[in-house]
């Protein structure tokens, strides 16, 4: 039997959990809808370049970054949209960048693969596989040397874990006890190559022990589980106890890039993973726990979709850069 | 003769050489995963059907290993053709290429050879600064490397076959907008020239440029995509009464200075066009060498039209501005005629 007091407390806890999950769901829905909109616009031919999307991996970005402060940092990859939205890069500025407009978060200079905004701690994404990992070490070093308790979350893929840069970054972060949380989004493929073909061990996080740091394998499509792991690793990093590897098992619901039909993937595997959609997992939980009703969720979704439409309008109405703008920003002034 | 795209011609060269010599093998990321891309631009698509996955080796994403393993295999009896998805990632491999591949023969007093090929796609295609660079000049600077840059299907096959048979490390720069890759690897706004490629065996020696178009007023030396931009400019200029000779050097190291010299004896004006950024580019080297050997044939200063000295911007309006266009080449030619 619980005492009166405990019941009140647990109710408060429950309200808090409800509020958090609802907010995480809203963010995940934003990531998903943003990328679906981009996909549509890209196929229409209105967006230049290429796209690398992360539908299906929303729980990784949102769960990991949910409790970061604005002063904390994040490094990303060639697949940065989800990470950037979850770190707080403005939707309008990201959409405008996709349209190659001067109001984009990189003023039209970066493009999809370099999305970011340092003012909210989103280091402009680095599209060289594993190229962001040593940079995250430097960011962590700086957080430590400047005697802040800020941390850096460093995203990378399963494929990236076979780059030399991975090894150097891990080792240095470990010996210097840097506040870095290394997050491997293991979606089982590096482009068309299945992880089994290029890695002999089951879990990338098993490599953590080789560097003398903790490693954790987490169901990456459950945002609450991701968030719990993030909380542990971030607390450790903030206390100056050093880095952690968190490996999130997840799956792309989209191609590697552009209009890739994923002919290299096993269809049974696809089906199994498609059934584990992070948005559905969270939605079901919200409804089961009665955190919100289906109608309330619909309201949330409507609100998000409107924001995206507004962002598209903003981007379309924004000016193109001038050709000569290309000559600016080679050096800082 | 068969009509082929550059991607197909490169694939044919690899196929023929792998049939001819069992030491030849390919390694790289995603080069022939079943259901995959066949390399970033389809060059190696389907080769594993004939040669198996032991000779068409799909690697982890490990550029240092790919380049280094190519060096090690080449030194000890194999002939690797290594692949990088975008030329920009050559920087990840730089130590293996510049310190090991290029120097092993020399450091060993000529007792070792490194017969490897390193293939790399270059060119700006609205992907932003890390998937866009033309990197020829980083490599033309390194003694010990040979640098080739085929711009037609015929040259692609003949030069790649020569590269595979060369006893030295050869870096092959291929242009993304010239491949003619198909399906979902096709590039928007690609030129994708298709050309006649003989079925019978042929090799193209290094150091022999070709005249793509004859002319009498200005010599333009250009490589890869810029050959086509120069040809376009030449068309425009022809209507204005300016006759342009376009030379495609085809290989940058070694370089066919003789051909350029004989051309400027006729035209007495020289322009070099490169997609690489301008400062300290291969064009600067060509200009300096021609100034040393051919200054007295010239009636005007040598000029270069190159990508402005900035990283490649993403937005098409800016990318198109920094990379030389036919219009920019034509404008420079008009000025050169007045000089
Ligand atoms: C150094 C380098 N090599 C190769 C590539 C080409 N490339 C882009 S994404 C990618 C696959 C990366 O796989 P992974 O790390 O698992 O990330 P995911 O794409 O699954 O998010 C490759 C090979 C690159 N961008 N940089
Ligand atoms: Mg992956």
Given a contact cutoff of 8 angstroms between Cβ atoms, the answer to whether A252 and A187 are in contact is yes
Q: What is the mean pLDDT of residues A307-325?
A: 98
Give residue A3's pLDDT band: very low, low, confident or very high (50, 70, 90): low
Q: What are the tokens at B297? A: 């044939």
The answer to whether residue A1 scores a pLDDT higher than 60 is: no
* Chain length of chain A: 333
pLDDT of residue A73: 98
Q: Looking at the CA of A189, which ligand is closest?
A: 2
Chain A hits for B315, CB-CB cut-off 8 Å, are: 48, 100-101, 108-109, 111, 320-321
Distance from CA of A221 to the nearest CA of B (A): 25
The reply to whether the predicted model has a pTM over 0.95 is yes
Residue boundaries of the structural domains of chain A: 48-318
Name which of B42, B61, B320, B328 to mutate to probe chain A: the one with the most chain A Cβ atoms within 10 A of its Cβ. Answer: B61
Q: Residues of B with CB below 8 A from A325's CB?
A: 313, 318
Q: How far is B64 from chain A (nearest CA, A)?
A: 7
Residue B319, SS3 per DSSP = helix
Residue B185, pLDDT score: 83
Closest alpha carbon within chain A to B38: A192
Print the SS3 string covering A101-116. CCCCCCCCCCCHHHCC
Q: Is the pLDDT of residue B282 over 90?
A: yes
Distances (CA, A) of B62 to B65, B66, B90, B166, B185: 5, 6, 11, 25, 22
What are the C-alpha distances in Å from A61 to residues A25, A108, A123, A279? 12, 24, 15, 13
pLDDT in tens, B288-301: 999 999 999 999 99
pLDDT digits (tens, 9 = 90+) for A10-67: 888 889 999 999 999 999 999 999 999 999 999 999 899 999 999 999 999 999 999 9
SS3 of residue A69 by DSSP: coil
Q: Does B57 touch chain A (CB under 8 A)?
A: no
What is the DSSP secondary-structure string of B162-224?
HHHH-SS-EEEEEETTTS---GGG--TT----EEEE-SS-----TT--EEEE--SSEEEEE-T
**Residue B144: phi, psi to the nearest 5?**
110, -15
Which of A100, A129, A327 is closest, CB to CB, to B61?
A129
Protein residues with CB under 6 Å of any ligand 1 atom:
A 78-79, 127-129, 157-160, 187, 189-191, 256; B 29, 61, 63, 85, 89, 92
C-alpha angle B129/B133/B138, rounded to 5°? Answer: 130
Tens of pLDDT, residues B311-331: 999 999 999 999 999 999 999
Ligand nearest to the CA of A191: 1
CB contact under 8 A, A109 and B313: yes
A266 CA → ligand 2 middle, Å = 15
Mean pLDDT on B108-137: 98
Tell me the C-alpha to C-alpha distance, in Å, between residue A219 and each of A18, A105, A186, A265. 20, 32, 10, 20
Query: Which ipTM was obtained for this model?
Result: 0.96
Rounded CA separation B128/A111 (Å)? 6
pLDDT 10s digits, A196-231: 999 999 999 999 999 999 999 999 999 999 999 999
Q: Shortest Cα distance from A17 to chain B (angstroms)?
A: 40
Fold (topology level) of B2-197: Rossmann fold (3.40.50)
Instruction: Report how far apart the first and last C-alpha atoms of chain B are (Å, whole number).
Output: 45
The answer to whether the beta carbons of residues B281 and B274 sit under 8 Å apart is: yes
Q: Is the peptide bond before B254 cis (omega within 30 degrees of 0)?
A: yes
pLDDT at B184: 81
Top-confidence residue, A14 or B309: B309
Q: Are B323 and B275 in contact (CB under 8 A)?
A: yes
Dihedral of alpha carbons B14, B18, B19, B20, sign: positive
Cα(B241) to ligand 2 centroid in Å equals 56
**Does pLDDT of A2 surpass 70?**
no
Q: Which CATH architecture has domain A48-318?
A: 3-Layer(aba) Sandwich (3.40)
Tell me the CA–centroid distance for residue A186 and ligand 2, in Å: 5
Domain assignments of chain B as residue spans, ordered by start: 2-197, 210-338
DSSP state of A320: P
CATH topology of domain B210-338: Rossmann fold (3.40.50)
- In the numeric block, the tokens 């291969």 are attached to B282
Residue B222: strand pairing partners? B273
Instruction: Quote the tokens at residue B125.
Output: 């295609």
Q: Do A320 and B315 touch (CB under 8 A)?
A: yes
Strand order in the sheet with B56-58: B56-58, B24-28, B79-83, B117-122, B170-175, B146-148, B251-253
DSSP string, A196-236: HHH-SSS-GGGGHHHHTS-EEEEETT-HHHHHHHHHHHHHH
Using most ligand atoms within 8 A of CB, pick from B31, B85, B92, B93 the residue to mutate for ligand 1: B85
Active site residues of B: 131
When CB atoms are compared, the residue of A113, A163, A192 closest to B128 is A113
pLDDT at position B182 is 86
């Amino acid at each position: 039997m619980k005492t009166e007091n405990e019941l009140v407390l647990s109710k408060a806890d429950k309200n808090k959990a409800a509020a958090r999950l609802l907010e995480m769901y809203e963010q995940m829905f934003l990531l998903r809808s943003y990328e679906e909109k981009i996909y549509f616009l890209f196929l229409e031919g209105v967006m230049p370049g290429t796209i690398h999307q992360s539908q299906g991996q929303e729980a990784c970005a949102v769960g990991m970054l949910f409790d970061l402060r604005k002063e904390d940092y994040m490094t990303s990859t060639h697949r940065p949209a989800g990470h950037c939205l979850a770190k707080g890069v403005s939707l309008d500025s990201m959409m405008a960048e996709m349209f190659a407009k001067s109001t984009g978060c990189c003023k039209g200079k970066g493009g999809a693969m370099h999305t970011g905004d340092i003012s909210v701690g989103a280091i402009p994404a680095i599209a060289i596989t594993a190229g962001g990992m040593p940079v995250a070490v430097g960011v962590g070093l700086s957080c430590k040397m400047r005697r802040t308790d800020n941390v850096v979350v460093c995203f990378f893929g399963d494929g990236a874990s076979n780059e030399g840069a991975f090894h150097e970054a891990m080792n240095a972060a470990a010996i210097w006890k840097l506040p870095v949380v290394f997050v491997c989004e293991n979606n089982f493929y590096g482009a068309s190559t299945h992880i089994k073909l290029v890695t002999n061990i089951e879990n990338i996080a098993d490599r953590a022990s080789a560097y003398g740091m903790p490693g954790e394998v987490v169901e990456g499509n459950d945002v609450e589980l991701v968030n719990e792991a993030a909380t542990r690793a971030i607390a450790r990093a903030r206390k100056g106890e050093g880095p952690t590897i968190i490996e999130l098992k997840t799956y792309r619901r989209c191609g590697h890039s552009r209009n890739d039909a994923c002919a290299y993937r096993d269809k049974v595997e696809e089906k199994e993973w498609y059934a584990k959609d992070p948005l559905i997992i969270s939605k079901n939980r919200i409804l089961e726990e009665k955190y919100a009703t289906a109608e309330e969720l619909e309201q949330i979704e409507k609100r998000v979709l409107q924001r995206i439409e507004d962002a598209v309008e903003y981007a379309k109405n924004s000016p193109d850069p001038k050709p000569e703008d290309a000559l600016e920003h080679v050096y800082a002034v | 003769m068969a009509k082929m795209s550059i991607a197909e011609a490169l694939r044919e060269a690899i196929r023929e050489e792998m049939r001819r010599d069992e030491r030849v093998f390919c390694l790289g990321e995603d080069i022939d995963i079943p259901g995959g891309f066949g390399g970033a631009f389809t060059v190696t698509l389907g080769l594993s059907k004939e040669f198996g996955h032991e000779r068409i080796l799909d690697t982890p994403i490990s550029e240092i290993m790919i380049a280094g393993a190519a060096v090690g295999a080449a030194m000890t009896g194999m002939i690797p053709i290594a692949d990088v998805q975008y030329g920009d990632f050559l920087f990840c491999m730089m130590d293996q290429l510049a310190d090991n591949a290029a120097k092993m023969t020399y450091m060993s007093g000529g007792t070792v050879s490194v017969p490897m090929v390193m293939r790399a796609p270059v060119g700006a295609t609205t992907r932003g600064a890390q998937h866009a660079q033309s990197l020829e000049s980083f490599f033309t600077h390194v003694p010990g490397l040979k640098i080739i840059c085929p711009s037609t299907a015929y040259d692609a096959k003949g030069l790649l076959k020569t590269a595979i048979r060369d006893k030295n490390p050869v870096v092959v720069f291929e242009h993304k907008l010239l491949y003619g890759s198909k399906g979902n690897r096709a590039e928007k706004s690609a030129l994708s020239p298709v050309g006649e490629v003989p079925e019978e065996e042929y090799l193209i020696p290094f150091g022999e440029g070709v005249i793509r178009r004859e002319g009498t007023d200005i010599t333009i030396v250009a490589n890869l995509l810029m050959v086509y931009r120069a040809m376009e400019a030449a068309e425009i200029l022809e209507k204005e009464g300016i006759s342009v000779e376009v030379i495609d050097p085809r290989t940058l190291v070694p370089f066919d200075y003789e051909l350029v010299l004989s051309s400027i004896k006729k035209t007495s004006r020289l322009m070099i066009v490169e997609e690489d950024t301008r400062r300290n580019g291969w064009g600067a080297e060509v200009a300096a060498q021609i100034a040393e050997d051919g200054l007295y044939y010239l009636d005007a200063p040598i000029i270069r039209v190159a990508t402005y000295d900035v990283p490649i911007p993403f937005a098409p309006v800016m990318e198109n501005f920094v990379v030389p266009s036919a219009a920019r080449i034509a404008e420079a030619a008009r000025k050169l005629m007045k000089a």
